[in-house]
Structure 1
Amino acid sequence: MIKRMFAFTAAVLFSTLSFSQNGYWQQQVKYAMDIDMNVETNRFAGIQKLEYWNNSPDTLKKVFYHLYWNAFQPGSMMDNRSRRQGTVNIGGRPDWDPRVKDRIQNLKPDEIGYQKIKSLKLNGVPQKFEEQETILMVPLTKAILPGQKVTFDMEFEAQVPLQIRRSGRDNPTTKVRYSMSQWYPRICAYDKEGWHPTPYVGREFYGPFGTFDVNIKIDSKYILGGTGYLKNANEIGYGYEAAGVKVNKPKTEKLTWKFTADNVHDFMWAADPEFIHQSKKIIDGITLHLLYKPVKDRKNGRTF
Structure 2
Amino acid sequence: MFDTLVLPDAISSYRSGSGRPGPDYWQNRADYRIKARIDPAHHRLDGSEAITYINNSPDTLGEIWLQLDQNLYRTDSRSWIAYPDWHPDHTDGAVIERVTIEENGKEKPVPFRISDTRMQIVLPAPLAGKGHRIVLHVAWHHTIPGPWGGRTAVTPVHDGEIYEIAQWYPRLAVYDDLRGWDTLPYLGQEFYLEYGSFDYAVTVPWNYTVVGSGALTNPQDVLTSTERKRLAQAAQSDRRVLIRTAQDIDDPQSHLARTGEKTWRFHMDNTRDVAFAASPAFIWDAARLNLPALPAPGGGTPRPRLAMSVYPREGAGPEAWDRSTEYVKHAIEYFSEQWYPYPWPNAVNLGGHGAGMEYPGIVFDGWKDRDDVLFWITTHELGHGWFPMIVGSNERRHAFMDEGFNTFIDAYASQHFNHGEFAPKKDAEFAPETGDPARDIVPVLTAGDAPTLMMPSELVPEKYRHKVTYFKGAYGLMLLRETILGPERFDPAFRAYIRSWAFKHPTPSDFFRFMSSAAGEDLGWFWRGWYFRNWWPQYRLEGVERHDTAPEGAGTVSIGVKNEGKLVLPVLLRVVWQDGSHTDRQIPTEAWALHTRLQIAFPDHGPIRTVALDPDRHLPMPDREGTVLTPASRP
Normalising by structure 1, we get a TM-score of 0.77
Which residue is 2:617 aligned to?
none
Structure showing greater radius of gyration is 2
Given candidates 241, 248, 255, the residue that maps to 2:228 is: 241
1:63 Cα offset (Å): 0.6
Match of 1:92 in 2: none
Tell me by how many angstroms 1:241 deviates: 1.9
Structure 1 residues 112-261: aligned runs within 5 Å:
112=91, 114-123=93-102, 124-146=107-129, 147-162=131-146, 163-170=148-155, 177-192=162-177, 193-237=179-223, 241-242=228-229, 249-261=256-268
Q: Deviations over 1:122-169 (max 9, x none)?
A: 223221001112111111111110120111112212211123321122
CA distance in 1 between counterparts of 2:256 and 2:262 reads 8
d(CA) in 2 for partners of 1:263, 1:129: 28
Q: Give 1:7's aligned residue.
A: none
Residues 243 and 270 of structure 1, relative CA distance in 2, 3 Å threshold: closer
Distance 1:243 1:295, change over 3 A: closer
Q: Deviations over 1:44-66 (max 9, x none)?
A: 22110001110000001001111
Within a 5 Å distance, the mapping from 1:36-55 to structure 2 comes to 36-55=37-56
Q: CA RMSD, aligned part only?
A: 2.8
Number of aligned positions between the proteins: 260
Which residue is equivalent to 1:288? Answer: 307
Q: Within 1, Cα distance between the matches of 2:195 and 2:49?
A: 17
Cα 1:211/1:202, change in 2 over 3 Å:
same
Identify the structure with the greater strand proportion: 1
Give the whole-Å Cα distance in 2 for the aligned partners of 1:242 and 1:57.
Answer: 51
Shift of 1:28: 1.0
**C-alpha contact (below 8 Å) 1:198/1:204 kept by paired residues:** no
**Counterpart residue number, 2:464:** none
Does the 8 A contact of 1:114 with 1:161 survive in 2? no
Deviation by residue 1:155-203 (Cα, 9 ceiling, x = unmatched): 212211123321122279xx96211111111111110120012211131
Q: Bigger CA drift: 47-56 or 158-167?
A: 158-167
Tell me, what secondary structure is at the counterpart of 1:23?
A: coil
The residue matched to 1:78 in structure 2 has which SS? helix
Q: Which structure 1 residue ranges, 5 or more long, are not aligned?
A: 1-14, 84-96, 298-302
Give the AA of the match of 2:189: R
Quick one: structure 1 residues 242 and 264, their matched pair in 2 at CA, closer, same or farther if it must change by over 3 Å?
farther
Q: For residues 65 and 214 of structure 1, do their structure 2 counterparts lie closer, same or farther at Cα, with a shift above 3 Å needed?
A: same
Note the 1:265-304 alignment, pairs <5 A. Answer: 265-283=272-290, 284=293, 285-295=304-314
Q: Per the alignment, do residues 52 and 242 of structure 1 end up closer, same or farther by CA in structure 2, a change over 3 Å counting?
A: farther
Give the structure with the larger helix fraction: 2
